Amino acid sequence: MRLENRTAIVTGAASGIGKAIAVRFAEEGANVIVADRTEVPREGGEKTLDLIRAFGGTAEFVELDVADWNSVDAAVGFAVARFGALDIMVNNAAIGVSKSLLETSEEEWDRVMGVNAKGVFFGCKRAVQQMLTQPARDGVRGRIVNISSQHGMIRSPNDLAYGTGKAAVVYMTRQIAGDYAAEGIVCNAVAPGKILTGKSGPAVDPDILAYSEARTPWPRLGRPRDVANAVLFLASDEATYITGENLMVDGGWMAN
Ligand SMILES: NC(=O)c1ccc[n+]([C@@H]2O[C@H](COP(=O)([O-])OP(=O)(O)OC[C@H]3O[C@@H](n4cnc5c(N)ncnc54)[C@H](O)[C@@H]3O)[C@@H](O)[C@H]2O)c1
């Protein structure tokens, strides 16, 4: 029970990696706000809330668009009204367009950056506003974990907007960690490599899978729970004196 009496918001928690993080947090005793535009998992299967409640965990669903300030504000307000605090914010929701520089329209750029960069800015800003009102426990008022990607540190083939948004997430993580450390805010990122979530579409295009396998030294691709375990560590009291870090969970992709 590494997160007992802690309240966490996980954005994009209806599907894939966000769902695994929400479930992992609930297994460790957290009150989890499953925050997403929809409750329907992209990869199919049970809804996150049903899965958590089936093993006796505590969770609520909040409909949220991370690109809309009022929506983010309302989700944090709901967490505090329902559970009394916001201890952990996981900014996980993201989208892509699978387009190169020349193919990307202004509208596509704005849409992706609106979720992947502005959405994380809103999530961090609203979380820090709330966390600064809370008493510190062992010097910590709250913990933020942003989900970045190896794409953003190295090129994201054929997704300029996605990679640019992810680079922004890594930068924001460092700056927030530095600016608010003295006030007890811990801010880290986790960078997944290729994670098989079960969804279809471009994520499992045979060329993308072949590229990912060729880049990954570990003899399998990633699972959502690989990422969830790393996020859990950074969200827990076990992560001390660690802030501004971008932890790769990539089977060695970036070491290769
Ligand atoms: N799967 C991978 O291989 C991989 C690799 C590197 C990084 N990541 C990152 O991990 C995170 C999760 O990836 P995933 O593969 O599980 O994604 P996914 O597409 O399976 O799930 C994303 C979830 O976010 C939600 N979402 C999208 N836009 C939203 C918005 N505006 N407001 C609220 N919710 C919104 C979707 O409804 C969905 O439930 C993302 O940040 C992604 O960039 C994934």
Per-residue pLDDT tens for 138-183?
A: 999 999 999 999 999 999 999 999 999 999 999 999 999 999 999 9
The shares of helix, strand and coil residues in the chain, as percent rounded to the nearest 5, are 45, 20, 40
Residue 199: its pLDDT value, please? 96
Measured by CA distance, the residue closest to atom 21 of ligand 1 is 15
Instruction: Give residue 252's pLDDT band: very low, low, confident or very high (50, 70, 90).
Output: very high
Stated pTM of the model: 0.99
92 C-alpha vs ligand 1 centroid, how far in Å? 6
Instruction: Give residue 103's pLDDT band: very low, low, confident or very high (50, 70, 90).
Output: very high
Task: Kindly state if the Cβ of 168 falls inside 6 Å of ligand 1.
Answer: no
Q: Which fold has domain 7-255?
A: Rossmann fold (3.40.50)
Q: Looking at ligand 1, which atom is closest to the CA of residue 162?
A: 43
Query: Residue ranges per domain, the chain?
Result: 7-255
Residue 86: its pLDDT value, please? 99
161 C-alpha vs ligand 1 centroid, how far in Å? 14
Task: Kindly state if the Cβ of 128 falls inside 6 Å of ligand 1.
Answer: no
pLDDT digits (tens, 9 = 90+) for 188-235: 999 999 999 999 998 999 999 999 999 999 999 999 999 999 999 999
Which residues are catalytic, by number? 162
Task: Kindly state if the Cβ of 11 falls inside 6 Å of ligand 1.
Answer: yes
Task: Kindly state if the Cβ of 164 falls inside 6 Å of ligand 1.
Answer: no
Q: What are phi and psi of 90, to 5 degrees?
A: -110, 110
Residue 196: its pLDDT value, please? 98
Task: Kindly state if the Cβ of 42 falls inside 6 Å of ligand 1.
Answer: yes
57 C-alpha vs ligand 1 centroid, how far in Å? 23
Sole residue written with tokens 């669903």: 61
Query: Would you list the DSSP string of 98-140?
Result: ---TTT--HHHHHHHHIIIIIHHHHHHHHHHHHHTTSPPBTTB
223 C-alpha vs ligand 1 centroid, how far in Å? 14
- The whole-angstrom separation of Cα 25 and Cα 22 is 5
Cα 14–50–92 angle (5° rounding)? 20
